[in-house]
A and B are shown apart, each in its own frame.
Chain A
Amino acid sequence: MLIKKCIAGDRGAQLALYNLFSPTMLIVCLRYANDRQEAEDILQEGFIKIFVALHQYKNIGSFEGWVRKIMVNTALQRIRKKATLRPIYALETVEESLFLNNTAITNLSAKELLYLVQKLPTAYRMVFNLYVFEGYKHKEIAQLLSITEGTSKSNLSDARNILQKLITSQLKIAK
Chain B
Amino acid sequence: MNNLNDIDKLFKNAIEPLQEQPSEQVWQTVESALDQKNAENYKRKFILFKRISLALSILLILIGVYELTNQNKTEKNNITLVQPNNIPLHQNKLSVEKKQKNYSTHKNILSANKGIATMLHNKIISVGSHKEIIPIKNNSTEISSTINSIEKNEWNAIAEKEISFNNTNSISHQKLATIKLNNYSLPIVHQAEIINQIIQPVTFQINKSNSSLIHRKKFQPQLSVTAFVAPQITQYNLKTNPAIIVPYQTQVYQQIEEEEKQLPSSFSAGLSLTYKFTKKWSVQTGINFSSTVIDINPSIIYASADGNGAVKYRYNVSSGYVYVLPAFSSNPKIGDSLFTTSAKHTLQYINIPVTMGYTFQKQKFAITPGVGIGFNFLTSGLIETNFENSSQRESETLSNIEGLRKSYINMLLSVNVQYPISNKVSLSFTPLYNFAINSINKNNIVQSFPYSFAIAAGIMYQFK
Contact = CB atoms under 8 A, between A and B. Distances in A.
Interface of A: 9, 11, 14-15, 18, 22-24, 26-27, 30-31, 40, 43-44, 47-49, 51-53, 56, 70, 73-74, 76-77, 80-81, 86, 99-100, 102, 105, 110-111, 113-114, 117, 131-133, 139, 142-151, 157, 160, 163-164
Given A47-B30, A160-B8, 13 more contacts: A11-B34, A27-B15, A27-B19, A30-B20, A31-B15, A53-B243, A70-B245, A99-B3, A102-B10, A142-B335, A148-B335, A150-B333, A164-B7
Pick the most buried of B21, B33, B37: most chain A CB atoms within 10 A of its CB. Answer: B33
A133 B304 contact: no
B150 to A, nearest CB: 85
A15 B20 contact: no
Contact of B246 (A52, A73, A164): A73
A143 B334 contact: yes
Given A49-B245, A73-B246, A18 B335 contact: no
B307 interface: no
Nearest to B333: A148
Given A70-B245, A132-B8, A163-B7, A26 B22 contact: yes
Interface in B1-35: 3-4, 6-8, 10-12, 14-23, 25-27, 29-31, 33-34
A23 B27 contact: no
Which 5 pairs of residues, A with B, have the shortest CB-CB distance? A23-B19, A76-B247, A142-B334, A110-B14, A148-B333
A145 B302 CA distance: 11
Contact of A132 (B3, B11, B37, B334): B11
Interface residues of B, number: 44
A27 B19 CA distance: 6
Contact of A56 (B17, B37, B243, B247): B243
B15 A40 contact: no
B4 to A, nearest CB: 5
Contacts of A27: 15-16, 18-20
Interface in B396-450: none
Interface string B345-358: 00000000000000
25 contacts: A14-B31, A15-B31, A18-B30, A22-B26, A22-B27, A23-B21, A26-B19, A40-B22, A40-B26, A43-B22, A44-B30, A48-B37, A53-B245, A74-B245, A77-B250, A80-B248, A110-B18, A113-B10, A113-B11, A132-B12, A139-B334, A145-B335, A148-B335, A160-B4, A160-B7
